[in-house]
Amino acid sequence: KAGVTQTPRYLIKTRGQQVTLSCSPISGHRSVSWYQQTPGQGLQFLFEYFSETQRNKGNFPGRFSGRQFSNSRSEMNVSTLELGDSALYLCASSTHWGAGLLAGAQNTGELFFGEGSRLTVL
């Protein structure tokens, strides 16, 4: 089955602009989370969505936002771009949130990552 799809793969923006990144999870996956990866800070958690609701948020400014649609697809938006926002933005999907092993579901807690969207801010 198809993996996690992120679009666009590469994009270049200038300071002050905004950007919207898209993520299509694996079919049947309802949880989508976003991560930012930079050489200096490594992989950092942005936020997680499940059933169209944000369930958890990392330590990023309000310029970073996201949403999830009824088909589980997710978008993240960064407004008023800064040079430091240049990064690889990764989306990951998972089958469950909160159900897990206690519910007997086959949830290993495994996340499936997409290839990422590489954003360059000039």
101 phi, psi to nearest 5 deg: -70, -35
Q: How far is the CB of 72 from other proteins (least distance, A)?
A: 13
Three-state SS string across 64-104, please? EEEEECCCCCEEEEECCCCHHHCEEEEEEEECCCCCCHHHC
- Residues in 32-51 that interact with other proteins by CB under 8 A: 33, 35, 42-45, 48
> Of 13-21, 65-73, 78-86, 111-119, which part binds other proteins (CB under 8 A)?
111-119
Q: Classify 39 in phi/psi space as left (phi over 0), alpha (psi -120 to 50) or beta.
A: alpha
Q: How far is the CB of 114 from other proteins (least distance, A)?
A: 5
Which of 64, 69, 74, 3 is closest to 32 using CA atoms? 74
105 phi, psi to nearest 5 deg: -75, 160
Task: Write the binding mask 59 to 98 for other proteins: x where contact by CB under 8 A, - elsewhere.
Answer: -----------------------------x-x-x-x-xxx
Query: Would you count residue 109 as binding other proteins (CB under 8 A)?
Result: yes
- Residues at the interface with other proteins (CB under 8 A): 4, 31, 33, 35, 42-45, 48, 55-56, 58, 88, 90, 92, 94, 96-102, 107-116
